[in-house]
Structure 1
Amino acid sequence: MSWFILMEMMLVAIMTVYLAYHTRLVFAKARYRNIITIIIVLCLIILCLYDLIFFGFLVNACICFVVFDIINLVLYKTKFNHYFKFIYCQGMVVLAASIVLSCYGMYNAKNTVITTYNVEIDKDFNDKSLMVISDIHLGTIVSKTDLIKISNHAGTIDPDAIILLGDIFDENTTQDEVDYAMEVFSNLASKYSVFFIEGNHEIGFQGGSPLKEFNLINRLKDSGVDVLLDEKVMLDDIYLIGRKDYVIKKRKSLEAITSDIKDNKPLVLLDHQPKNYKENAKLGIDLQISGHTHAGQIFPLNYFFELINVNDMNYGIKKEGNFYAIVSSGMGGWGYSIRTAGHSEIVVINLSSKHKK
């Protein structure tokens, strides 16, 4: 069992106890309050098992209860406390707030935005525009018909390359969805240079392995997509270096992949998980592009993941010396169709040379 699943189970247990406590307060004057509490909690657990969108609602309900608990604490022994406590204990305000927050999360998850970064590299090359799509998790937030957004945006952006940055598919993606995606990617590959690297969900997560089950590598190649697995390729006058996912213990070292590069051209590293920034910077990488984090997806997990340093960066762009790192929050999301942290995005990276100024 992975640490992620174990953490999720612990989180559900803590939230269930917390909600049970507050449910009991709401029905404090009811004759069968214990039975009512047990029934409500069991229903929530069953709903979470049936569809993970209810897990998102459970998280949002807990967040609302925490906020109202803090307000209740601040108002303690003031003249407003009696009125607030009366409203709070009815439970309806928290329920309404939870529903509003969850509805926002569902809207935010489906609303894809374009995030643009301008990166200046201290090497001589022609300007490039990269359109980066990560973490679609096809079949969760992004349906197969939503993939048309990629084609529409590509037509507007007109990039030099489209990069599929891993976790495009996951353990819940169906054969029908894969077939449709291949049609979309084949159409894109007929107009643009399209590159794919694998993510942890494609390799295998919770017992599923889309790479093997759907023969993804060969199907992507047949669709005209360049698959980079610990390989490098020239895109005009810049190097694109695609890594196998970080969970692969025997993946090649970056040094081994780049050891035969002699010319002074930009090195753009495509690595699904944002790891090894210091080592990669020392090896001369100019830009590392990653996804994986979903920017937390559910508030306040974004702050929690930053606190425990799961990755080198959770979201955005940073620069250290000549090294740039960009992490996308992804176009989709995993598990549930709710996003209250970050946003669903397609990233556009405009690369330019300092030498041309």
Structure 2
Amino acid sequence: MTDNPAEVVEEAAHPSRRRGGRWRRTTVVTAVLVLLFGVPWWTLVVSGAAWPGPIVVAGSVLFAAALVAMPVLLISGHGRRSDRAAALGDALLGVIWVLFVWSVAGQLLGLGLLVGGLADPVRSRMVALAVVAVSVVLLGWGYFEAMRVPRVKHVEVRISRLGRGLDGLRVAMITDTHYGPLKRARWSAAMVARVNELDADVVCHVGDIADGPVGVRREQAAPLGAVRATSARVYVTGNHEYFSEAQGWLDYMESIGWDVLHNRHIVVERAGDRLVVAGVDDATAGASGVRGHGEDLATALSGADPGLPVLLLAHQPKQISQAVAAGVDLQISGHTHGGQIWPFNFLVRLDQPSVHGLSRHGDRTQLYTSRGTGFWGPPFRVFAPSEITVLTLRAG
């Protein structure tokens, strides 16, 4: 399945390309699945461990069943809106990723033990048990990290054009809440309570509010209506809004009192100094097929005083190139989840200029990338803790 409607049109016009494209995607997905499940199966069940026959058979059947079940659960869950199937498929995806990563590490451990003179089956059994032990610990810890209310991370950002009256302005940032198959209304309420303890001047939600339409996820999103800010509450879309109901989420957030920055800006003023707070649609909006949506920074800044500092909300860090060209002072983004489950952060870095933290781009523009407040898909966070971020802006 493609996320780009233009690709669907192209395939419909050229059936041979459509068949070829589907064949290539099927081949790639199959190869990835075989690798994901095959490496742990080999490491834990076969290899040189010489487990008793019944263990080998049971283990092989378990891996084969999981290999078939995971894509079925993910497709039936996310494709047909079955929350139970989606939750099971997501969990299985997280488990097999962790097993795969640490099975690869286990093979390196086995090589070291071989060099040290330890023979099979003891060597392979030690590797298998180590992989299982590490994976169980990381999955348990990762589940706790994903489900807890995020810790607050404090970051100071110095902006040369910021007026003295705005020195110390506190911007609370949440992003990637991903309300989804797991019912997290209580988590949402607790997260909002923690945000409200911060007494922030501006509260930002930087996209990927939910996986699914408002009618399905309203209960989980409802606590956002209680968020407090002394000056403004602002929201922009992420890429996941365009998988379901982008305009519906914009309308909903507006209905509960948030300023929706759909390629527009507002001005925050304190002690005679002003800050432009602008927002743009996600980078995928233009290809989504949703009428009137598409990243447009020029429109977002239209009418703004060019001498004022600009805080920009843009869901994906890679939207920074346009921010630099427009002379934006600070862009805040999410999307990456900090990789969510190590070492996925290295793959994310291939697509994004930043995975987490504060970085500088060009002479003026800074970018803060959040690890995200919730999680997507697998309910695990391994070496990538969630966060509620407080950005304290300092005058230059």
State TM-score, norm by structure 2.
0.78
Matched, 1:318 2:359: yes
Corresponding residue for residue 205 of structure 2: 164
* Partner residue in 1 for 2:387: 345
The 5 A counterparts of 1:107-256 are 107-111=144-148, 112-125=150-163, 126-127=166-167, 128-139=169-180, 143-171=184-212, 175=215, 177-182=217-222, 184-188=223-227, 193-204=232-243, 209-211=244-246, 215-236=248-269, 237-249=274-286, 251=294, 253-256=296-299
Q: Does 1:25 align with 2:47?
A: yes
In 2, Cα distance between equivalents of 1:169 and 1:253:
23
Judge conservation of contact 2:285–2:295 (CA < 8 Å) in 1: no
Q: Indicate how the Cα distance of structure 1 residues 343 and 314 shifts in structure 2: closer, same or farther if over 3 A, else same.
A: same
Which has the larger displacement, 99-108 or 254-263? 254-263
Q: 1:76 maps to what in 2? A: 114
- 1:60, CA displacement in angstroms? 1.3
Q: Indicate the RMSD between aligned Cα atoms, in angstroms.
A: 2.8
Q: Which residue of 1 aligns with 2:315?
A: 272
Superimposed CA distance per residue, residues 110-134 of structure 1 (whole angstroms, 9 cap, x where no aligned partner): 2311111111111142131111100
- The alpha-carbon deviation at position 9 of structure 1 amounts to 6.0
* CA–CA distance in structure 2, aligned partners of residues 36 and 179 of structure 1: 42
Task: Name the amino acid aligned to 2:46.
Answer: R
Deviation at 1:251, TM superposition (A): 2.1
Distance 1:142 1:156, change over 3 A: farther
Q: Which one-letter code corresponds to 2:255 in the other structure? A: D
8 Å Cα contact 2:263-2:299 kept in structure 1: no
The 3-state SS of whatever aligns with 1:24 is coil
Structure 1 residue 38 displacement after superposition = 3.8
- Residue by residue over 1:293-327, the C-alpha shift from the partner in whole angstroms, topping out at 9 and shown as x without a partner, is 11111111101222xx2012111111243211001
| TM-score, L = length of structure 1 | 0.86
Q: Which amino acid aligns with 2:241?
A: E
Closer/same/farther in 2, CA of residues 11 and 297 from structure 1, 3 Å limit:
farther
**SS of alignment partner, residue 144 of structure 2:** helix
The amino acid of 1:85's aligned partner reads: R
Q: Which has the higher contact order (CA 8 A, sep 6+)?
A: 1
Unaligned runs of 5+ in 2: 5-24, 74-84, 287-292
Alpha-carbon distance in 1 for matches of 2:203, 2:29: 33
- State the distance in 1 between where 2:259 and 2:281 align: 14
Whole-angstrom distance in 2 between the partners of 1:19 and 1:83: 17
Task: Tell me if the contact between 1:113 and 1:344 (Cα under 8 Å) persists in the aligned partners.
Answer: yes
Counterpart-to-counterpart distance in 2, 1:226 and 1:60:
40
Change in CA separation of 1:186 and 1:37 when aligned onto 2, cut-off 3 Å: closer
Structure 1 position 20, deviation (Å): 2.9
SS in structure 1 opposite 2:378? Answer: coil
Q: Pick closer, same or farther for the CA change 1:253–1:77 going to 2, 3 Å.
A: closer
Aligned residues: 343
How far, CA to CA, are the matches of 1:187 and 1:253 in structure 2?
30
| Counterpart-to-counterpart distance in 2, 1:323 and 1:274 | 12
Deviates more, 1:114-123 or 1:49-58: 49-58
